[in-house]
Amino acid sequence: MTYSTSLTNGALLTSERERCLAPALLPLSPMIMTRTGDVSHPLRPANPVDEHYRRHLPEIHKTFSLRLIDVEKDGERFHRWQNDPRIAAFWEYPFDRATLDGMIRERLGDPHCTPLIGCFDNQPFAYFECYWVAEDRLAPYCDHGPFDQGVHVLVGETTHLGRANTVGWLNALSHYLFLREPRCQTLFGEPRVDNRAILRYTHPLTAWRKRYEFDFPHKRSALLSCARRDFFEEST
């Protein structure tokens, strides 16, 4: 499957945006500046409730979709995922249900964050925490633009692990992020340096590249990035 090409100015073809994105995401927010603490950044759009993106992935014969997380619908599932030792080793949130429900509500109320459930054929399998880099803790560690985005990823259902599935959802997730904000030029990730499960899916398997390592106060991370031009030229 080939992802649509971008125009020379970085904007995406309207027909492609309409085909994959929820209608509520199609209008672009104007460039209105605001502040979070000492950080000046564009005013972020509200997150639509329910589905954000849907695309069939013929190479794995599955349909990938993204929807906003819901405490009532997803709380027990999120609790189970976070208490799986495989996931807790990196996320470090092996908390009780009430604490994790509170975390979900906090993310839903944070304008710099878009907490999403990833589905294959409408069955939830992953949690993706998307964010605007400018007002995130990552900002001092990377060269970012005002509309660039980052993401934390968690695949909770082991039946959807594996190379083909991972390349499929990672490309589709990247596609969603570039589509929802055509002014975004780079996507970022900052997994722990020993998280080989995700680091193995950098270039040439995908358009994501490891740039360097750096130290957060709580972990040593690898800075990953995916440039818009690289994604639309290389992703299939």
4 or 218, greater pLDDT: 218
Say whether 207 sits in a helix, a strand or coil.
coil
Dmax of the chain from CA atoms? 49
CATH number belonging to the domain at 14-26+46-234, selected among 3.40.1080.10, 3.40.630.30, 3.20.20.150, 3.40.605.10: 3.40.630.30
Judged against a pLDDT cut of 80, whether residue 232 lies above it is answered with yes
pLDDT tens-digit profile of 147-201? Answer: 999 999 999 999 999 999 999 999 999 999 999 999 999 999 999 999 999 999 9
pTM exceeding the 0.85 threshold for the entire prediction? yes
Is residue 13 very low, low, confident or very high in pLDDT (cuts 50, 70, 90)?
very low
Mean pLDDT, rounded, for 102-106: 98
pLDDT tens-digit profile of 58-77? Answer: 999 999 999 999 999 999 99
Judged against a pLDDT cut of 70, whether residue 2 lies above it is answered with no
Scanning the structure block, which residue is given the tokens 């502040």?
Answer: 35
Active site residue 157: no
Cα–Cα dist 46/9, whole Å: 25
Please state the domain extents for the chain.
14-26+46-234
Which residue of the set 51, 135, 181, 190 is catalytic?
190
Listing DSSP states for 48-98 in one string gives PSSEEEEEEETTTTEEEEEEE--HHHHHHHHHHHHTSHHHHHHH-----HH
Neighbours of 12 (CB within 10 A): 21
